[in-house]
Amino acid sequence: MYHHSPVKHVLTALAPFRSQNRRTAYSLLLLICILLLAISAGCSSAATASSTPSGPRILRVMTHDSFAVSEDVLIAFEQENNVKVQIIKSGDTGTALNKAILSKDNPLADVFYGVDNTFLSRALDEGIFEPYASKLLEKIPAAFQLDEQQRALPVDYGDVCLNYDKAYFAQKNMPPPTNLEDLTKAEYKSLLVVQNPATSSPGLAFLLATIGNFGPTDYLDFWKALVANDVLVVNDWETAYYTEFSGSSGKGPRPIVVSYNSSPAFELIYASSPMTEPPTGAIVSNYSCFRQIEFVGILKGASNHDLAEKWIDFMLSPAFQADMPMQMFVFPVNPNAQLSNAFVKYLDVPQKTAVITPQEIAANREKWLQAWTEAVLR
């Protein structure tokens, strides 16, 4: 097919000048040809760009292995922001944080979620997060906001407390323990199972509860008394709750376990047959529980900073916050999130939890763990 040539038209237009100044004419011709080619290439690129639809960007979210979110809630975020969320599960809280620290010069993700107050100061000291003052922080109670520079923003919390099997104590016609001190009494011998704080997040939280309750010098006396009362130590929460605890589906031999204040409500909600009340109870007396708070932050050097901000806003929004309890067994920090009626009716919340600051934990964690190991396991 024949096409009109812009160069031919230029040559025709320049004909009168050829006899006068051949060198000037050809110099002008060369310049115009270059301009025409540049314009042609630019138009072609623009046409190609306009005809190629832009696909969704990728947002990488690094988390611990317990992260979960309802599919419809996640899809709504992806569609609203034209993004595909890639969840990178990286082990338990301590392991995931180690990976984030080791890769901080070349981050594996845009966002990190799941560091809790037992490891918070380490994350902040390592400088892995960039500040982000989300407007939704205005909705979050100040008690959850532990980082004044807003590098780590609170997302959820859970209270680690003792749980007991109601049926066991009813059959024995004896009261369950009401506080930590009760656990050392003879009538509760061989009844308690706990997790190793060196390998378990709730185990560490319970150790901190005992330190907050008895003090950093006397807590070992309490643990030595537990050893004398035949406490059982296992490596993780799953083994403690589902294998050794008599109040769960595992129907183990021990009627007292370290778990969460939310566990009784979940026993009711997920019961294989309908129940009118939870089969277990939580001990929430003053200073017998430790409150775990989990945080999210934008990793320094994130390649999708704008999307990371949107993800954090999403995690603090009522939609995500209301979804968390049924997905991760934790509770929202946003008071506008609606909880299931089962939680509202059967959840026991401690009025005063054991308080140890992230800075105190960072300064003493390894020392406390070493002392506990020598007193309890050796």
Which pTM value belongs to this model?
0.77
Give the number of other CB atoms < 10 A from CB of residue 143: 11
Q: Which fold has domain 158-290+351-376?
A: D-Maltodextrin-Binding Protein; domain 2 (3.40.190)
Architecture of domain 57-156+292-343: 3-Layer(aba) Sandwich (3.40)
pLDDT class of 341 with cuts at 50, 70, 90: confident
CB of 149 closer than 8 Å to CB of 131: yes
- pLDDT tens digits for range 46-84: 433 333 356 899 999 999 988 999 999 999 999 999 999
Q: How high is the mean pLDDT of the chain?
A: 86
CB of 219 closer than 8 Å to CB of 376: no
Distance CA(322)–CA(41), nearest Å, equals: 53
Residue 156 CB burial class (10 angstroms; 0-12, 13-18, ≥19): buried
- pLDDT tens digits for range 86-133: 999 998 888 889 999 999 999 999 999 999 998 898 899 999 999 999
Domains 57-156+292-343 and 158-290+351-376 share a fold: yes
Length of the chain: 378
Distance CA(71)–CA(62), nearest Å, equals: 17
CB of 305 closer than 8 Å to CB of 286: no
SS3 367: helix
Distance CA(259)–CA(193), nearest Å, equals: 10
Q: Which token pair is 244?
A: 């050794």
- pLDDT tens digits for range 209-264: 999 999 998 999 999 999 999 999 998 888 999 999 999 877 899 999 999 999 99
**Domain extent listing, the chain:** 6-51, 57-156+292-343, 158-290+351-376
Q: Phi and psi for 115 in degrees, rounded to 5?
A: -65, 135
Nearest Cα to Cα of residue 155 among 197, 123, 125, 112: 112
CB of 233 closer than 8 Å to CB of 223: no
Distance CA(297)–CA(197), nearest Å, equals: 25
pLDDT class of 199 with cuts at 50, 70, 90: confident
Nearest Cα to Cα of residue 116 among 290, 259, 295: 295
Comparing 9 with 85, the larger pLDDT belongs to 85
Comparing 21 with 266, the larger pLDDT belongs to 266
